[in-house]
Amino acid sequence: MIVRPRPHWFAMLFIWRGSVLRKLVPRLAIIAGIGVSAQLLHLLWPAATKFELAVAPFSLLGLSIAIFLGFRTNVSHDRYWEARKLWGSTMNASRQLARQALTLAEWPPASPDAQRFVRTLIAHAHAFRHQLRRTDARADMERLLHPEDLDRVMAARWKPAVLQLQLGDQLHEARRRQQLPDILIVAMERGLETLGDAVGGCERIAGTPIPLTFSVMVHRIIYFYCTLLPFGLVSSIGWYTPVFAVFVAYAFMALEAIAEELESPFGTDDNDLALEAICRNIEASLLELLGEPLPPEPPLPADFVLH
């Protein structure tokens, strides 16, 4: 995800990175070509007037498309925002569990038990990210997990669930050694439940896309409308037809493309959630609680900040 200081209003007209325009250029070029063809037919072939269409139907159909696109965009944004809140709860629960382990349990920050517990929390965040993106988690797991835990986690299909189990096992072992009072076990169990709820909620979003039939219907109507629009404009605005046809097509196609990106917020598109940055923040904040040096920030371009 790209986050930057809001640029000047004029500079926003020329922003390329983070815009869906790069995806739409070939489609908009086709619409422009249809507009030019419609005008040439109008000028060079008098019989082509029978292909000209009235503007009124396009006004009614455009209103219907706007309503459908508004619903489509709202549904996609709700999925995006819910996913962001679930990842926010993951960050909060990880910090709270680390703080409780380091301040209320008899675990000094430098003790092996504290190190193992906190690093397992960090590994959980990274495994969560890898599961949603279906990427290889081995590198992060090898640098974070205790050797006794690594093989079991790497053999699991649902790595976050296994890591939650290991966190519970570590708390149970601390309780057995009387390093953790029963009342604290209850409080920390709520934190583990929050991690489980976040994983389940994101799995629900990732595994339940917007029904395809709705997306197909909206897609077909938009492209049918944009293809015929030049033939409704050519008799009234002449050579301005390609310009206005492309402008209208950009408005509708861009909204559809934005909704498609927001619908699946766990990918790597410019407007998806910045899961790497969220995991880096979790890792840095938990390492700071342990008193360890923070990992270096990745180099970024001067005018871009990733969150």
Q: Could you please report the per-residue DSSP string of 108-153?
A: -TTSHHHHHHHHHHHHHHHHHHHHHHT---HHHHHHHS-HHHHHHH
Structure tokens at 80: 């995006």
The residue assigned the tokens 């969560």 is 128
Helices (H), the chain: 9-12, 21-44, 56-103, 112-133, 138-144, 147-155, 159-176, 182-207, 212-237, 241-263, 275-290
122 has pLDDT over 90: yes
pLDDT, residue 113, reads 85
pLDDT at 135: 93
Q: Is residue 180 part of a domain?
A: yes
Write down the pTM of the prediction. Answer: 0.82
Establish if 252 belongs to a structural domain: no
Residue 19 pLDDT > 80: no
pLDDT score of 130 more than 50:
yes
Domain membership of residue 305 (yes or no) is no
Residue 175 included in any domain? yes
Separation of alpha carbons 270 and 292, rounded Å = 32
Residue 126: predicted pLDDT: 96
Q: Is pLDDT above 60 for 303?
A: no
Q: Which of the residue ranges 16-30, 38-52, 171-185, 213-227 would you say has the lowest mean pLDDT?
A: 38-52
pLDDT digits (tens, 9 = 90+) for 44-91: 776 655 666 667 777 778 888 888 888 888 999 999 999 999 999 999
Q: Is residue 278 part of a domain?
A: yes
Q: What is the mean pLDDT of residues 265-286?
A: 89
Domain count, the chain: 1
**Residue 57 domain-assigned (yes or no):** no
Residue 1 has pLDDT above 90, yes or no: no
Three-state DSSP class for 212?
Answer: helix
pLDDT of residue 305: 42
What is the predicted pLDDT for the residue at 129?
95
Q: Residue 293 has what pLDDT? A: 76
pLDDT of 104: 76
Average pLDDT for residues 151-177, to the nearest whole number? Answer: 91
**So what's the pLDDT on residue 302?**
41
Beta bridge partners of 64: none
- Residue 139 counted as domain residue: yes
Indicate whether 14 belongs to any domain.
no
pLDDT at residue 211 in the model: 84
Give the percent of the chain with pLDDT over 90.
Answer: 39
pLDDT band at 101 (very low <50, low <70, confident <90, very high): confident
Average pLDDT (217-223) is 89
Which residues constitute the domain of residue 202?
86-209+274-296
Read off the tokens for 160. Answer: 């976050």
pLDDT tens per residue across span 185-198? 888 889 999 999 99
| DSSP state, residue 7 | P
Mean pLDDT for the stretch of residues 198-206: 94
- Give the pLDDT band of residue 2 (cuts 50, 70, 90): low
What's the mean pLDDT when you consider all of the chain?
A: 84
State the pLDDT confidence band at 267, using cuts at 50, 70 and 90: confident
